[in-house]
């Protein structure tokens, strides 16, 4: 069974890049446009790892992570925050919301894969 990943990002470009990088690495990829959409998608899929952007419309990454942690199905699914924000306080906020780890955009493909494997059970 290949690892499955849900990537949540409001940028079409970023979603496409993630899709390319992750499918190339042999992962099953689901995509969502924002936090709310991400939570909807999670009602239908059970990814091994979730990757999410922080700054998104409708529902941002913090809200999304909190939503995931509140769910029964995904409360311990690893969540990697993928964001251009490298500021420490944002990382801490993400962590307090329940994020497992973080990757700073623009991402290097191999390191993205490494990070996913690092947290994927």
Name 4's bridge partners: 28
Residue 4 binds to another protein (criterion: CB under 8 A):
no
- Contact residues for 26 (Cβ-Cβ < 8 A; gap 6+): 2, 3
- Radius of gyration in angstroms for the set of CA atoms belonging to the chain, rounded to a whole number: 13
Map the footprint of another protein across residues 70-89, applying CB under 8 A: 70-72, 75-79, 84, 86
**CB distance 48 to 79 below 8 Å:** no
Does 11 interact with another protein (rule: CB under 8 A)? yes
* Single residue of 5, 17, 51, 90 touching another protein by CB under 8 A: 17
**Binding footprint of another protein on the chain (CB under 8 A):** 10-17, 20, 30-33, 37, 40-45, 55-57, 69-72, 75-79, 84, 86, 92, 95, 98-108, 110-112, 114-115, 118-121
């Amino acid at each position: 069974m290949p690892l499955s990943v849900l990537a949540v990002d409001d940028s079409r470009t970023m979603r496409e890049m993630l899709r390319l990088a992750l499918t190339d690495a042999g992962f099953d990829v689901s995509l969502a446009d924002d936090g709310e959409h991400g939570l909807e998608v999670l009602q239908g899929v059970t990814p091994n790892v979730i990757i999410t952007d922080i700054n998104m419309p409708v529902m941002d990454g913090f809200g999304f992570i909190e939503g995931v942690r509140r769910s029964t199905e995904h409360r311990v699914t690893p969540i990697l925050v993928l964001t251009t924000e490298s500021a420490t306080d944002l990382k801490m906020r993400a962590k307090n919301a329940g994020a497992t780890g973080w990757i700073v955009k623009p991402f290097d493909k191999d390191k993205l894969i490494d990070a996913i494997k690092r947290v994927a059970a």
